[in-house]
């Protein structure tokens, strides 16, 4: 950023400056720019950083939407049935779903 002043500090000096609220960041200016909808100034040390940061912020978080979403339900099952499926380890709900699907295929409506 043009006109910026760089200062060398030790970690302890930085921590003390932050604790004393003596950092030289213009946080009020940052807030005003955000509220005004102004884009950040490009960083001359890393010109691609602004675009990379913007792209990272636009990435959607979480699991991508499924093409075949599941329906969440509450169901009461006998303990021995649940224990038998859980004994198989991770993926027991998927195996239970497959067993129900197999039963439906063998018993059409």
Average pLDDT over residues 58-83: 89
| C-alpha–C-alpha distance, residues 28 and 108, integer Å | 68
- On the question of pLDDT at 24 being above 90, the answer is no
Average pLDDT over residues 13-38: 79
40 touches 33 (CB < 8 A): yes
Contacts of 93 (CB under 8 A, 6+ apart): 85
- On the question of pLDDT at 77 being above 90, the answer is yes
- On the question of pLDDT at 1 being above 50, the answer is no
Contacts of 33 (CB under 8 A, 6+ apart): 40
Domain boundaries, the chain: 11-58, 72-109
26 touches 5 (CB < 8 A): no
């Amino acid at each position: 950023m043009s006109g910026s002043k760089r200062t060398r500090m030790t970690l302890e000096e930085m921590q003390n400056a932050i604790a004393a609220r003596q950092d030289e960041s213009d946080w009020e200016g940052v807030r005003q720019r955000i509220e005004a909808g102004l884009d950040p100034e490009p960083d001359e040390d890393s010109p691609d950083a602004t675009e990379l940061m913007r792209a990272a912020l636009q990435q959607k978080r979480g699991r991508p939407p499924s093409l075949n979403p599941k329906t969440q339900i509450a169901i009461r099952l006998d303990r021995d049935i649940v224990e038998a499926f859980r004994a198989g380890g991770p993926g027991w709900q998927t195996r239970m779903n497959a067993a129900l699907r197999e039963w439906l295929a063998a018993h059409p409506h």
